[in-house]
Amino acid sequence: MAGELLENALQPCLPSQRLGRASEKSQLRQHFRQVRQELDRSLISQKVVAQLASCPQLLAAKTILAYVAFGSEVDLGSLFVLFPEKQWGIPRCLPQRQMQWHRYSSAELIPNRRGLLEPSPHSETLDPTEADLILVPALACDCWGRRLGYGGGYYDRFLAALPDPNVPKWGIVPQACLLEQPLPQDPWDQRLDGIQTEERFYKTGIP
């Protein structure tokens, strides 16, 4: 795992400087965006999908909440094609940083104001409480399940409101974005139960 990335990401900083958590996260986001730009996204996505496609928990799941990849995110699109019999849920961003879930249909994806493909408001909705598994995008994760997102708070709000906290929640990141050092965490940040990279699956644990 990328054990030294967290320390390197916060350089240059004088030892006496204490970054506020928001500033620290902002600096880390910038760092990991740069890290991911240098990776082979296509190859990593293929390997992640291959790992997930042989995972018993995913194979047993009937309803899976996932995402449509944007920018340097790991692309799970071929997973939807491999398992068309499953109900794949894709989020649509709403005001107040909420999300509405819809059944995946490539024909009904439209770009939002930020260029992110998401379901049409008129496409079939899906009840997220039916989910057997949730695959969560992230810029980076640590091995304790802390997640560095994009700063919008959409997933933290959604995961915090889940009626069943035992539904597995897995972060999807390249191996280069999985840290052995703890990421900064705010009280509202939601932890993940596992992390899937192109190399393997990591079950997380709270120290």
Residue with tokens 């928001």: 22
Contacts of 58 by beta carbon, 8 Å cutoff, 6+ apart: 52, 64, 133
Compute how many other C-beta atoms are within 10 angstroms of the C-beta atom of residue 119.
Answer: 23
In this predicted model, what pLDDT tens digit does every residue of 141-181 receive, in sequence order? 999 999 999 878 899 999 999 999 899 999 999 999 999 99
Does the pLDDT at position 7 exceed 80?
A: no
Q: What integer pLDDT is reported at residue 39 of this predicted model?
A: 97
Q: What integer pLDDT is reported at residue 110 of this predicted model?
A: 95
Residue 68 to residue 15: CA distance in whole angstroms: 40
Q: What integer pLDDT is reported at residue 206 of this predicted model?
A: 58
Q: What integer pLDDT is reported at residue 151 of this predicted model?
A: 78
Q: Enumerate domains of the chain plus CATH numbers.
A: 5-202 (3.40.50.10420)
Kindly tell me the burial class for residue 18, based on how many C-beta atoms sit within 10 Å of its own C-beta (0-12, 13-18, 19 or more): exposed
In this predicted model, what pLDDT tens digit does every residue of 92-105 receive, in sequence order? 999 888 899 999 99
Question: Which tokens go with 55?
Answer: 């995972």
Q: How far is CA 101 from CA 8, 18, 82, 89, in A?
A: 37, 39, 21, 6
Question: Which tokens go with 159?
Answer: 């995961």
Residue 157 to residue 188: CA distance in whole angstroms: 8
Our CA dihedral for 89, 92, 98, 103, rounded to 10 degrees, sits at: -20
In this predicted model, what pLDDT tens digit does every residue of 113-151 receive, in sequence order? 888 899 999 999 999 999 999 999 999 999 999 999 987
